[in-house]
């Protein structure tokens, strides 16, 4: 499993967000019964020799953070959101099995959240993306 982050140019608290993403990714793969043995590495380039792996998963984190919207349809709406791009390749054939962008949200009217749940939000977004 390879992961990297490609933040917008004005992204704040990059180190803290990357730490939350890393911890959420680790907890997802370690705690999931779907993945036998997982190797988690920083990077976005798939190694040339992937035949030893059943699947190669590449995750790019685009957004991980709290949001607050003021105005219509409710007076105040907030929560957290995670935007990830996920590619799953067959390790032997390198055939693409999944190429998907996920925009996961948790919150609603009159909800204001900070950064304390970002690790759990990252894990939940992965569960929504890789549930099968």
121 pLDDT band, cuts 50/70/90, is: very high
In this predicted structure, the answer to whether residue 132 has a pLDDT above a threshold of 70 is no
Report which of 76, 73, 101 is spatially closest to residue 87, judged by C-alpha positions. Answer: 101
Give residue-wise pLDDT tens across range 39-66.
888 887 888 888 888 889 999 999 999 8
The CATH code of the domain at 2-129 is: 3.30.160
pTM (two decimals): 0.87
Cis amide prior to 73 (ω within 30 degrees): yes
* C-alpha distances in Å from residue 60, one per residue of 14, 37, 73, 77, 119: 14, 21, 31, 26, 15
Give residue-wise pLDDT tens across range 62-79.
999 988 888 766 678 888
- Structural domain boundaries in the chain: 2-129
Q: What is the mean pLDDT of the chain?
A: 89
Of the candidate ranges 9-13, 35-39, 101-105, the one whose mean pLDDT is the lowest: 35-39
Please give the share of the chain, as a percent, with pLDDT higher than 90.
Answer: 55
């Amino acid at each position: 499993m390879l992961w990297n982050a490609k933040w917008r140019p004005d992204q704040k608290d990059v180190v803290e967000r990357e730490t939350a993403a890393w911890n959420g990714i680790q907890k997802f793969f370690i705690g999931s019964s779907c993945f036998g043995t997982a190797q988690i590495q920083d990077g976005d380039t798939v190694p040339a020799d992937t035949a030893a792996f059943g699947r190669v998963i590449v995750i790019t984190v685009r957004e991980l953070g709290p949001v607050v919207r003021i105005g219509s349809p409710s007076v105040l709406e907030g929560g957290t959101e995670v935007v990830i791009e996920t590619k799953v390749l067959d390790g032997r054939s390198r055939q693409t099995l999944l190429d998907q962008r996920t925009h996961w949200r948790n919150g609603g009217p009159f909800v204001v959240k900070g950064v304390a749940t970002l690790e759990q939000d990252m894990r939940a977004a992965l569960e929504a993306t890789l549930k099968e």
